[in-house]
Amino acid sequence: MSKIIAQDKSISVPGETLAVGMDILPGTGAYRDGEKIVAKRLGLVTIDGRTIKLIPLSGRYIPKTGDTVICKVIDVGFNGWRLDTNSAYSAMLSMKDATSDFIARGANLTQYYDLGDHIVCKIVNVTSQKLIDVTMRGPGLRKLKGGRVIEVDPNKVPRIIGKQGSMVMMVKDATRCNISVGQNGLIWIDGEPVDELLAIQTIRKIERESHMSGLTDKIKEFLENSGKK
Amino acid sequence: MPYTKRIDGRGFDETRKIEAKVGVIKRADGSAMFKIGNTWAYAAVYGPRNLHPKFLQDPQRGILRCNYNMMPFSSSGERVRPGGSRRSKEISLVTGKALLPVLDLEEYPNSVVDVFIELPQTEAGSRCAGICAASMALADAGLEMKDLVSAVSAGKVDDKLVIDLDYAEESYKDGSVADIPIAIMPNSGKITLLQMDGEIKKDELMRLIDMAKKALNDIYEIQKKALKEKYHEVEM
């Protein structure tokens, strides 16, 4: 007889038994040990039918195919750029994925992206050895000019973006800033200095209170109140 | 004089007062504090991150680097000279070996997870406190782990088997002393660290391990509670 021991939406720590029984399946963040389903990390228990998975609450960014990330150029080579992805691994942007311009052999690539530039790009491939390929071909992928880049906890990014981008839209409208959120926890903000500061304050507030319910309303109120000052 | 009663009045199978907290160092990816009596350990975990020098990289899995450090005026004896010593190197090594069996670093090839254990004040049992703090900090850093690791020192003072020796017991003059740090994975009961200083009979050692396991279950509950407390308000 199978039995689910852990409660839905509770916190579990590594090694904790979540359920017993062969007809329950371990999802991400859990593993099977004989009859038992055991937690493999610190996370929020989510029971979905017969599957038990754990939503991570902390940890560094792990690159995934399809993620849109904000990266910094750390090296310029013969046929591409090396980028810092805010994770343990750097990414490679090859010339053909960067631009459709004709680039002559041996041309100076810094005229496209120079050292220290931030770019929005998309991860197209991650190998088992964590070699990362990114592309600049796609809507919204570009070099970031001006503005400032801040770092947040990558696990809080979904909350900052909100459902269908509702949260970030609200911050954008209220602060009149351009904002780009990378899945790797880097956020680019560009606007008037005062507005930029307000946007940063708001994002930090979302990050801090990401676990609370009714956050959208709270942030709306916060933005309205700070606008009056 | 025979050893009939512990100096601080504890029972022979009792640990000193334990306090644990997670997330004490903001800049670290994961951190924890573990206090047992007057021994305080702080652990900070950074990573997985890029590993240099490059020849240390392992293309099959990430590596774990532990660093155990006692602060200059942390102990009751002479000032500890800053920087690494023969002793700290050994303890860093055994700490790493005690933690590695629970960690799954195959997801992070060529990278490193750094663990820094700092001890602002110590009074025996520092490597065990360090291991407890480090295992909580690793879990806080969101790394994939099979289990936590709990550790405590056990031993024999004169003819009595005791748990969690303090400094006075470790340096007991009127009889023989054996000091045995033990670390286990609490859910499977497997031992990841077992060292010994002193002499003890085989059957006494077996009894001592059973005693330690009981104490370690209590320590495990404290570790678990500390980890959960960090997120106690979570409700989505």
Report the residue of A42, A48, A57, A184 to disrupt the B interface, i.e. the one with the largest count of B CBs within 10 Å: A42
Judged by a CB distance cut-off of 8 A, whether residue A207 touches chain B is no
C-beta separation of B72 from B81 below 8 A: yes
Q: Is the pLDDT of residue A212 over 80?
A: no
pLDDT digits (tens, 9 = 90+) for A89-112: 999 999 999 988 898 888 889 999
Of B48, B110, B224, the CB nearest to A60: B48
Integer Cα distance of A107 and A104 in angstroms: 5
Residue B1: what pLDDT? 67
Domain positions in chain A are: 3-56, 68-144, 148-228
> Is residue A215 helix, strand or coil?
helix
Task: Give the minimum alpha-carbon distance from A229 to chain B in angstroms, rounded to a whole number.
Answer: 31
pLDDT class for B234, splitting at 50, 70, 90?
very low
Task: Identify the CATH assignment for A3-56 out of 1.10.287.180, 3.40.50.720, 2.40.50.100, 3.40.50.1100.
Answer: 2.40.50.100
**CATH homologous superfamily of domain A148-228?**
K Homology domain, type 1 (3.30.1370.10)
**Closest residue by Cα to residue B144 from A84, A62, A207, A24:** A62
Rounding to the nearest 10 degrees, give the CA dihedral for residues A184, A215, A40, B126.
Answer: 90
- Joined tokens for residue B110: 């060529």
Smallest Cα distance from A123 to chain B, Å: 17
Q: How far is B88 from chain A (nearest CA, A)?
A: 28
Long-range contacts of A200-207 (CB under 8 A, 24+ apart): A200/A150, A201/A226, A202/A171, A202/A174, A202/A175, A203/A150, A203/A152, A203/A160, A203/A171, A204/A152, A206/A156, A206/A159, A206/A160, A206/A167, A207/A152, A207/A153, A207/A156, A207/A159, A207/A160
ipTM, two decimals, is 0.90
Distance CA(A136)–CA(A158), nearest Å, equals 22
Contact A58 B104 (CB under 8 A): no
Give the tens place of pLDDT for each residue, B73-118: 999 888 999 989 999 999 999 999 999 999 999 999 999 999 999 9
Please check whether residue A64 touches B, CB under 8 A: no
Write the residue in A17, A42, A129 that is nearest to B142 by C-beta.
Answer: A42
pLDDT over 60 at B233, yes or no: no
Topology adopted by domain A68-144: OB fold (Dihydrolipoamide Acetyltransferase, E2P) (2.40.50)
- Domain covering B18-229: architecture: 2-Layer Sandwich (3.30)
Which of A42, A56, A87 faces B227 most closely, judged by CB atoms? A42
Mutate to test the interface with A, among B22, B224, B229, B233 (most CBs of A within 10 A): B224
Establish whether domains A3-56 and A68-144 are of one fold: yes
* pTM of the predicted model as reported, rounded to 2 decimal places: 0.93
Q: What's the per-residue H, E or C state across B87-136?
A: HHHHHHHHHHHHHHHHECCCCCCCEEEEEEEEEEECCCCHHHHHHHHHHH
> Contact A113/A81 with Cβ under 8 angstroms?
yes
